[in-house]
Amino acid sequence: MSADRIKDTMDALVKELNQHTYNYYVLAMPTIADFEFDSKLETLAKLEKEHPEFADPNSPTQRVGGDLTKNFVTVRHKWPMLSLGNTYNEQDLRDFDDRVRKAIGDRFEYVCELKFDGLSISLTYEHNQLVRAVTRGDGTQGDDVTTNVKTIRNIPHRLKSSDNPEIFEIRGEIFMHRAAFERLNKEREELGEVTYANPRNFAAGTIKMQDSSEVAKRPLDCFFYSLNTDRTLFRTHWESLEAIKSWGFHVSEHSSLATNMDEVLQFIKHWEHERFKIGYEIDGIVIKVNSYGQQQELGFTAKSPRWAISCKYKAQEVETVLQKVTYQVGRTGAVTPVANLKPVQLAGTTVKRATLHNANEIERLDLHEGDTVFVEKGGEIIPKIINVNLEKRTAAARRIIYPAQCPECGTALIRNEGEVAFYCPNDEGCPPQIVGKMQHFIGRKAMNIDGVGDETIETFYRQGLVRHISDLYTLKDRAQELKNLERFGEKSILNMLKGIENSKDMPFEKVLFGLGIRYVGETVARKLALAIKSIDRLTNATVEELTAIDEIGQRIAESIVDYFRKPEHMRQIALLRAHGLQFEVVESTIKLQSDKLNGKTFVISGVFEGISRDELKDLIEGNGGKILSSISAKLNFLVAGDNMGPSKLEKAQKLKIPMISHQELLEMLK
């Protein structure tokens, strides 16, 4: 290979791998399997060693972790968060063992730990109090995500133990259990959002959210595995694990001591199969020399410790035949392609279907009918096609073309600028959208209608009893038709009609969420209801007025405005209003505690420690103040907490609005 060709190859690998690193750490949406990434990284490292004159200083081989975001304060690590060297095979582990023995002799132990597939975090405690939580970032500095991390229930804010040092740093891995991931990803899919590939991405995406109240709703967990202090407190790593467990930290019970590499390999082999039986993801095993003294003797390279290595499990992969591609139309109109496969065993389950995500994925794979494909479980949960065995493709195989019309109603599909998914815009005439909207409307988080389930809605739609959500409120006049249906007894009909009637008492925010406006989830509906107060004001709101509301972005605002432009949506709202549903916020009568804030206006933004935004709102209104929904020249005070949106901060500074903390607000009331 010529020198120019070698340099071009190295430059291309640097560019590609840096993009994959960004996708993984910053966007939390990887586009390449770990094994493939590591193979490309190894190729690049080998080329750099052979041709150092072409090495790029920005090469991913010179990095130890991910990247930083602009949304959080950057904090330098006191002890660098180095990455571990990793391998996928036994020989590399044997070579690692040989290097260790040559350096420190034969008298040592290994600690074997599960390698959790999550987000690395470093916590600092001072005088038993959690003061800071920082992500790995680039290994030398990371993002301060303290407010978000404090929402994780098994992370102690204050320690009770008196044995621990005054200041110490403890490291762990934030992750999400499989069951929680599947549940939350389903909700994301219903909102028309791109689903996360695996729990690791969901956990990472959650920790990088700006609203800690949203983080608190997502059930994250954390295992701790490392302690750093200014002076060595323990002789071995194993002793430190036992100690931090006694201090109240969550430590995995699945660690083990090993006296030689054969015992390490037994541990690795055991967990290669057992990992599917635990409720969270692991992607390998970490092996560490136990003695801290021997760790010091072994030392570090520029990027990783010489006393530790990780053995990663290659994602389980099988070969099977793609029988056909079908298309699912969701509640929001998103059309998702699904690969129907010849049934095959994978990771302990029979796989018959695999996600194809969108049209881009079909094009990337260049899928043809009857292709032999390689399937793996992304994060060991969602089966996905990773490649096609081109050697087995027949000459007669026809290329799969993503449809131009909706597979359910025939309407021409559309794709909005900047989005990957195609949508069917016929939301009032496309059967799965109609049924999906009604199923969403009756759901627990929306109208919470007792006695009506998803199957009931499907039955009623097939029988012509309901076509719109407003039709649910006419069922009381069709009791005889209901009695003629199979499996609908008089008692169940009465319970259902009672549940429908009771739903009329649900507050405006629940009704708004129940309408199923794209991108308007439960939290957004609540924020809109509190800020706008009524459906009449909301239907006339402009994009500019909506984006001025806390947490409402351009995409959400445009979706709301588009929704209310459609006459059929306005007809439905008129019918629901006629049936007695709540379309405005019922203001509670506030008993004033004082008039100290009389005539003063406030906007509350950010996250506060020790007090919620609702409590601050009640406090202001209870003392005569008024809460505004957006920042304007009429505003007297901005009550500013942590992680306040940058646009709000900029606007307040431009208008010279006084910014006060919640402590200063309390001082005003003394």
Task: Give the catalytic positions in this structure.
Answer: 115
Paired strand residues for 142: 75
What per-residue string of b and e applies to 374-406 under the rule 16 or more CB within 10 Å gives b?
ebbbbbbbbbbbbebeeeeeeeeeeebebbeeb
Paired strand residues for 116: 282
Fill in the amino acid letter for 154.
N
Burial zone of 223 (CB within 10 Å; 0-12 exposed, 13-18 middle, 19+ buried)? buried
CA distance 289 to 299: 11
Residue whose tokens read 């496309």: 430
What per-residue string of b and e applies to 488-508 under the rule 16 or more CB within 10 Å gives b?
beeeebeebbebbeebeebeb
CA distance 640 to 658: 10
User: Helices (DSSP H) in 191-342: which residue ranges?
Assistant: 199-207, 212-217, 237-246, 261-274, 292-298
CA distances from 192 to 31, 410, 520 (A): 20, 20, 10
- Among 566, 260, 543, 303, smallest CA distance to 429 is for 566
Paired strand residues for 346: 349
Tokens read off for 622 = 């209870």
Residue 540 sits at φ, ψ, to 5 deg, of -100, 0
CA distance 428 to 333: 10
Which secondary structure element, helix H or strand E, spans residue 287, and what is its range?
strand 282-289
Given a contact cutoff of 8 angstroms between Cβ atoms, the answer to whether 473 and 497 are in contact is no
CA distance 449 to 452: 6
CA distance 621 to 641: 19
- Among 284, 397, 400, 226, smallest CA distance to 35 is for 284
CA distance 341 to 115: 31
Burial zone of 358 (CB within 10 Å; 0-12 exposed, 13-18 middle, 19+ buried)? buried
